Chains A and B, each alone.
Chain A
Amino acid sequence: MTARPIKNSIFKGAVIVFSLIAITPILLIIYELVRKGYKQINISFFTEVAPSTWDAMMANNNGELIPGGILNGITGTLLMVFVASIIAIPIGLITGIYLYENAGKRYANVIRSISDILQGSPSIVIGIIGYFWVVKYITNGFSALAGSVALAIMMLPLIIRSTEETLKMIPQTIKEAGLALGVPYHKIIMRVLIPTSFSGLVTGILLALSRVIGETAPLLITALGSPMVNFNLDKPASAVPLLIWEFYNDPNMVNLIWSSSLFLVVFILTMNLISKKIAPKKN
């Protein structure tokens, strides 16, 4: 009979040990990023474009910090994420509202399933789509627009589902109160549904943004990357993760890898934390 309490304690011990193992990697990763990355973060890191291999090599040989920064990456990320948001946010919100209003109907279930499948499909596949739809037929070459479209397709299902889930949390009575007053449908959406669930909607959008900001693979075959700051949608553009990939492939740039990664991770995690903070509490 005493074997049972012993087993019980052993299992609890194992649970604790494994849980601690599970949280170790994130601590190690952040530690590594900070330790190796903080040195390169200074004003020029944000105000200058990525250096040439040559400049980086010279700096390394002289034991100096690598000159230049990641301005082209930051602007490229901002541009593509901005355009992707313009495409994905309205469509995502409206489709989410549609699903909420028509919950249970067959067509809505189809849309919901498609959205789930799209959400689970690998980003590289969506990159291929961006390549064929935009690079080949619209911009005739790698372009910021192609990157934006790929990111938008990735954001869409995230926004759709978070919108629907958020709206479901609104008590039915609130909507009915509006309907009972004879308020027209679009006004109920604009004046009741959206304001009531505003923080939840913003949370969903922020999470979708933070999910795509770190994407590399789809951009690699759509936006390609660019050594310059570029706001022209039909020209190639860089992005912070694309720069990291370039730095990784260039032995002279090793030191910049860590600072760019640190910057990217801090940016994404901050967005995550903000969205968690403003998220409506479930009860």
Chain B
Amino acid sequence: MNSENITKNILFVTSLIILLISIGMVITLVSGSIPIFKEFGFQFIYSTEWDPTAGRENYGALPVIVGTLITSFLALIICLPLAFSTSLFIAEYYKGSIISKIIGTLIDLLAGIPSIVYGLWGFYVLRPFIVQLGLSEQGYGIFTSSLVLAIMIIPYATSLSTEIISLVPNHLKEAAYSLGATRLEVIFNVTVPAARSGIIASYILAFGRAIGETMAVTMLIGNRNAIPHSIFDIGNTMASVIANQFGEAEGLKLSALIAIGLLLFLITAIINYLGKLVIKQFS
């Protein structure tokens, strides 16, 4: 074999590693989930009961699935106006200015703060504030978690959409201005439509982030495996139930947690894939 081929083979073989890792991940998660599905079948997914007491063990994932979706949706909704405004601020209104650079840097810094620090901040700063507002007695729950999640995903929702908005060519906007449109009209009739897929994709990806976020939510959501009655109620998410209970779990309970991990993996994979599809449509 000549050196050319050796190099090519090394590259190829190394690229197999990530393939093997992901196949291995799926195998591990699936085989770990088999016991729980054998025991409860698909009832595991729609049952609302979570009872580890020996003898009447029952594990239902619906409360944590619902909890995950509600917190993440709420987070996205809170995040949207903030992220959208920030993108417009940086890529449209004050494009290229120093103030935009500062704001962009500060938003990027948000992505660097570890989840656990968000959790602490939520616990010690936000939670008392929520109690003061009288929104909930203890300050824990869906709403508090969503608020912190919303902050955590701002950089993900902002960075891609900012980039795409700033790529909208000037000549398109100028065509609209030359017809007498105001800036607002140009934004909504030209800029946003042209950048649409990129903007949507960045919100989808941010949503995926929110779904998998663990520590901060674990510290704030209240960790009760029941379907929440309102957004100020406490609840649990898929990621936090794993983080909380994995350590001492065995048998069926362990299998239930792994199955939740598998579901979480699949949901985020689908969401990310969707996001990528939307971006592709753009380019």
Q: Identify the closest chain B residue to A213 (Cβ).
A: B114
Known: A32-B125, A116-B276, A244-B120. A264 touches B25 (CB 8 A): no
B183 part of interface (Cβ distance < 8 Å): yes
Asked if A216 and B215 sit within 8 Å, CB to CB, the answer is yes
Asked if A22 and B22 sit within 8 Å, CB to CB, the answer is no
Per the 8 Å Cβ criterion, residues 7-45 of A in contact with B are 7-8, 11-12, 14-19, 21-23, 25-29, 32-33
Q: Identify the closest chain A residue to B23 (Cβ).
A: A114
Asked if A129 and B82 sit within 8 Å, CB to CB, the answer is no
Q: Give B21-46 as 1s and 0s: 1 = Cβ < 8 Å from A's Cβ atoms.
A: 11011001100100000000000000
Asked if B116 and A189 sit within 8 Å, CB to CB, the answer is no
* Complex-state Cα separation, A17 to B89, whole angstroms: 10
Q: Binding site of B, secondary structure by majority: helix, strand, loop or mixed?
A: helix
Asked if B11 and A97 sit within 8 Å, CB to CB, the answer is yes
Known: A95-B17, A157-B18. A189 touches B7 (CB 8 A): yes
* Complex-state Cα separation, A268 to B112, whole angstroms: 6
Cβ–Cβ < 8 Å partners of A116 in chain B: 272-273, 276
Q: Give A86-126 as 1s and 0s: 1 = Cβ < 8 Å from B's Cβ atoms.
A: 00001100110111010000001011011111111111111
Per the 8 Å Cβ criterion, residues 155-197 of A in contact with B are 156-157, 160, 184-186, 189
Asked if B93 and A217 sit within 8 Å, CB to CB, the answer is no
Asked if A26 and B109 sit within 8 Å, CB to CB, the answer is yes
Known: A125-B212, A132-B32. A272 touches B112 (CB 8 A): yes
Residue of B109, B112, B219 ringed by the most chain A CB atoms within 10 A = B112
Asked if A185 and B272 sit within 8 Å, CB to CB, the answer is no
* Complex-state Cα separation, A22 to B11, whole angstroms: 43
B117 part of interface (Cβ distance < 8 Å): yes
CB distance from B35 to the nearest CB of A (A): 14
Query: Can you list 14 A-B pairs with a CB-CB distance of less than 8 A?
Result: A11-B187, A18-B85, A19-B89, A22-B154, A26-B109, A28-B121, A91-B14, A95-B17, A111-B15, A118-B21, A120-B209, A124-B242, A244-B116, A248-B116
Given contacts A118-B21, A186-B3, A269-B112, 10 further A-B contacts (CB under 8 A): A22-B154, A90-B14, A95-B11, A95-B17, A117-B272, A133-B24, A185-B7, A214-B112, A245-B215, A272-B108
Residues of A within 8 A of B (CB): 4-5, 7-8, 11-12, 14-19, 21-23, 25-29, 32-33, 90-91, 94-95, 97-99, 101, 108, 110-111, 113-129, 131-133, 153, 156-157, 160, 184-186, 189, 210, 213-217, 220-221, 241, 244-245, 248, 257-258, 261, 264-265, 268-269, 272, 276
